[in-house]
């Protein structure tokens, strides 16, 4: 496995709840885990993410939503399909599916994107 140059790591309040959200709902795969450290290394297409359950002391310092002010964007192939999967699971969508327009230099791109909050309130954007 190759590691990306930047890999976010989230402190989470309940690793199993987060595993369900990221793996069962979003489709991430567990690349490896360290149960003794309550740690997961996940991937989805070319995206990578680390999760670690915080200690009582760490969690006492955090207030929902965790990661306030941070926006993590995951570039994936079929954003509408993932959006539909979350709708069918009745998971709350934070920002609805839209087709955006962005200027990149002299060109424009038109990705589909939507956003959700994970169980701890981390802001996750999925974009093509």
Predicted confidence (pLDDT) per residue in 71-100, tens digit: 999 999 999 999 999 999 999 999 999 999
- pLDDT at position 36: 98
Domain that holds residue 43: 9-127
* Structural domain contains residue 83: yes
Residue 4, in any domain of the structure: no
25-72 pLDDT, tens digit per residue, is 999 999 999 999 999 999 999 999 999 999 999 999 999 999 999 999
Residue recorded with tokens 């149960």: 35
Tally the domains of the chain.
1
In a domain, 3, yes or no: no
Per-position DSSP letters for 32-97, written without gaps between them: EEEGGGTEEEEEETTEEEEEEEPPHHHHHT--SSTTTT-EEEEE-S-HHHHHHHHHHTTPPPSEEE
The dihedrals phi and psi of 22, each to the nearest 5 degrees, come to: -70, -40
Residue 1 lies in a domain: no
């Amino acid at each position: 496995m190759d590691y990306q140059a930047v890999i976010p790591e989230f402190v989470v309040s309940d690793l199993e709840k987060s595993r369900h959200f990221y793996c069962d709902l979003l489709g991430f795969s567990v690349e490896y885990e360290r149960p003794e450290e309550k740690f997961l290394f996940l991937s989805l297409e070319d995206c990578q993410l680390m999760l670690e359950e915080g200690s009582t002391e760490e969690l006492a310092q955090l207030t929902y939503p965790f990661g306030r002010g941070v926006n993590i964007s995951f570039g994936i192939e079929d954003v509408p399909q993932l959006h539909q999967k979350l709708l069918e699971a009745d998971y709350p969508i934070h920002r609805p599916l839209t087709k955006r327009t962005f200027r990149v230099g002299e060109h424009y791109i038109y990705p589909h994107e939507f956003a959700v909050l994970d169980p701890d309130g981390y802001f996750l954007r999925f974009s093509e």
